[in-house]
Structure 1
Amino acid sequence: MKISDYSFDLPKEQIAQYPPEERGTANLMVIDRLDGSIEHKNMQNFTDYIDDNTVVVFNNSRVRKARLFATTDDSGGKVEFFMLSKTEKNQWEVMVSKAKKQVVGRSYTFEGGAKGRITRIISTNHRIVEFDTDINDDYLDQYAHIPLPPYIKRGDDNADSERYQTVFSKEIGSCAAPTASLHFTQDILDKIKEKGADIAFVTLHVGLGTFAPVRTEYLDDHDMHYEDFYISDESATIIENAKKAGKKILAVGTTSVRTLESSWVDGKLLRGTRSTNLFIKPGYEFKVVDRMFTNFHTPESTLLVLVSTFATKTLIDKAYKEAVDSDYMFFSYGDAMLIM
């Protein structure tokens, strides 16, 4: 199939620029894969679809405040650095703006007074920067900015520090939020447990590749990016026992889906830290996930392909058209979908 088959028209005013005023109040579209029905609900209705025959799986990765600004020591120009990963003590791999000017040896003064200089060029806009102090997550929490997606056309504000994180975020390392989980409040989590359902957590650190466009005409020619994930023995045991008992595995977000599907071997989940470049596309047979909770995704994206593979392209096309016609909000801060 072609990636152009996964396009749709979306008015720009339906691209959510801010989260709902109150977490847990977004629109919820519920679609049934068996009969093709579509219901319009609210996030407060989510637990109506949960019972003691369900395990809900969340991604507990936490977004790193990764956008850090600096001035060049020679000219005073402003440069933006995206902190990708710490390579060794006081050194980070970064993406950098105005890349042609950022050459080996150039030095900068960062927010908070830290000093740094480029020691190596990795690729067109990737560099290694060596700092005069330890740039850790405490420093980034104080001086860096939340990396909002490119389709949110504004700078981050104080509210994003909370709203672009899940209420259960724990393991720092994502470049973007596992956005389906942004809809869940502690109250909703408590109600899930009250219904007798189990909750399990996995960790997949969302990489910048999640925003990378598919540049090939055909899906089979696309090289999927790698992302690191972790599954604990506790979570694996909960999910394995549920599958043996015939319970439903409801994965919250495409990151949870890819984590589970990448790890299922001979009726068991692989434990520990691994990486995946699994591209779920037509022809894929799901081994673990029975139900999916997700946001509304960007046109011609691997995420939309994944959801369309799970629910059939015909049904997702119908659901997306109905969402547009019903003034749903789309993408990271937008509304949600539950696929039964």
Structure 2
Amino acid sequence: MSPVTTLSAEQAAHADATLARLNFDLPPERIAQTGAEPRDTSRLMLVGQTVTHHIFRDLPGLLRPGDLLVFNESRVIPARVMARKPVDAAGHGGGQVEVLLLREEDLPDLSAHHGPHLWSAYLKPARRAGNELWLGDGEHRQRARVVGQLEDGARILAFDHDIKPHLDDIGRLPLPPYIDPGSSDDTWRERYQTVYARAPGSVAAPTAGLHFTPDLLAALDAAGVERTTVTLHVGAGTFKPVTGPVAEHTMHAERYSVTPEAAQAINHARAAGRRVIAVGTTTVRTLESAWDGTQVRAGEGDTRIFITPGTPVNVPDLLITNLHLPGSTLLLLVTAFAGEDRIQAAYDAALHGDYRFYSLGDAMLLTNARAASPAD
């Protein structure tokens, strides 16, 4: 399964107009630089026919017994690695190159010539095919060669060995560009992960999940709220703004998987009339990518799904999500989900109510535009 959404001219024009209407100026101080402590003391806006304000740990009282929460259990990998060019016999070279590993690639034509350990990566400064790099230092140092290039400028690196076991020692967590790293990488390795992250592979956190704590999960269990997990490895494209016409915006491929157990839990909940609640836009994209028109299918694949206003969101009834950047594909997705009027009302309330924005900021609980409001 490899879903791709190609927008019609009418859909693209609608999306352009939506982003123009939802444009807003955000003072820099409203961009959260640290998460709430404890995590579940962040604010939570309930967006229905009216807007009400809560604390995230109020969530068990806002949901119903039998509701099904669907989490993305992907784990962020230390994908930002400093590399050096090799030094030649004359002592030339050794310059530094910043590497952002994106994901492992399955490219049979290249694997036949360069081996199986292929990754796409952004390099700064860029390097040409044939160039060699040494990533990291000491016993964990790894050699890579540039063997190809993707349409978006990412390079394909061929490693001599599997680099994954070495990333904890040579890499740093890749933080969003609007966050000042400030504190040590060890701090971010704990803080920029969900407490339930299991499957390594993301280069950005599924941030709606950062609000959950073990105590909150236990309280949800006690309230009769059920949960299951899917996986979507979040790519760097999640931070890519829409800088021109939506029709020209390229969605990067991201790997997702839905287990048979998760598909069964979701389909049973839907068949019983119980609500499915997506924790984060990455979970929405996973569920819609696995939707076959009647049910969620187990399986895995790449998705470039592009959800914009006018695109039906079929599976989740509710969505927990943070406050997103203007001019972003995520803002288009939540507008498709909840409707433009409700998103406009929510963002107006957030801007006037001192909500904190973006990855480490506060959250909203949105109702699918096709469903009744949880606040009604």
Q: Same fold (TM over 0.5)?
A: yes
SS at match of 2:169: helix
Q: 2:332 aligns with which of 291, 299, 305?
A: 305
Taking a change above 3 Å as real, the CA distance of residues 110 and 4 of structure 1, as seen in their structure-2 partners, is: same
SS at match of 1:161: helix
Taking a change above 3 Å as real, the CA distance of residues 69 and 337 of structure 1, as seen in their structure-2 partners, is: same
- Corresponding residue number in structure 2 for 1:53: 66
User: What does residue range 113-152 of structure 1 map to in structure 2 within 5 Å?
Assistant: 113=139, 114-123=141-150, 125-131=153-159, 133-136=161-164, 138-152=165-179
Q: 1:57 and 1:85 mapped to 2: Cα distance?
A: 24
- Corresponding residue number in structure 1 for 2:251: 224
Taking a change above 3 Å as real, the CA distance of residues 141 and 282 of structure 1, as seen in their structure-2 partners, is: same
Once superposed, what is the RMSD of the aligned Cα atoms?
Answer: 2.0
- Corresponding residue number in structure 2 for 1:13: 29
- Corresponding residue number in structure 2 for 1:95: 122
TM-score (ref. length: structure 1): 0.91
- Corresponding residue number in structure 1 for 2:188: 160
Contact 2:102 2:122 in 1 (8 A): yes
Q: Deviations over 1:88-140 (max 9, x none)?
A: 4555332211115x66234436233514243424157533444455422x311
Q: Quick check: 1:85 aligned with 2:103? A: yes
User: What does residue range 16-31 of structure 1 map to in structure 2 within 5 Å?
Assistant: 16-31=32-47
One-letter amino acid of the counterpart of residue 198, structure 1: E
Runs of 4+ in 1 over 4 A off after TM superposition: 87-91, 130-133
- Corresponding residue number in structure 1 for 2:304: 277
Contact 2:145 2:159 in 1 (8 A): no
Q: 1:108 aligns with which of 129, 134, 143?
A: 134
Pairwise CA distance, 1:254: 0.4
Q: 1:288 and 1:131 mapped to 2: Cα distance?
A: 40
The percentage of aligned residue pairs carrying the same residue is: 40
Pairwise CA distance, 1:49: 1.1
TM-score (ref. length: structure 2): 0.83
- Corresponding residue number in structure 1 for 2:203: 175
Q: 1:335 and 1:46 mapped to 2: Cα distance?
A: 13
Contact 2:259 2:298 in 1 (8 A): yes
SS at match of 2:41: coil
Contact 1:51 1:196 in 2 (8 A): yes
Q: Which ranges in structure 2 are unaligned for 5 or more consecutive residues?
A: 1-13, 88-92, 106-114, 368-376
Taking a change above 3 Å as real, the CA distance of residues 216 and 260 of structure 1, as seen in their structure-2 partners, is: same
User: More strand per residue: 1 or 2?
Assistant: 1
Contact 1:6 1:305 in 2 (8 A): no
Q: Which ranges in structure 1 are unaligned for 5 or more consecutive residues?
A: none
SS at match of 1:99: coil
One-letter amino acid of the counterpart of residue 212, structure 2: F
Taking a change above 3 Å as real, the CA distance of residues 322 and 164 of structure 1, as seen in their structure-2 partners, is: same
One-letter amino acid of the counterpart of residue 94, structure 2: G
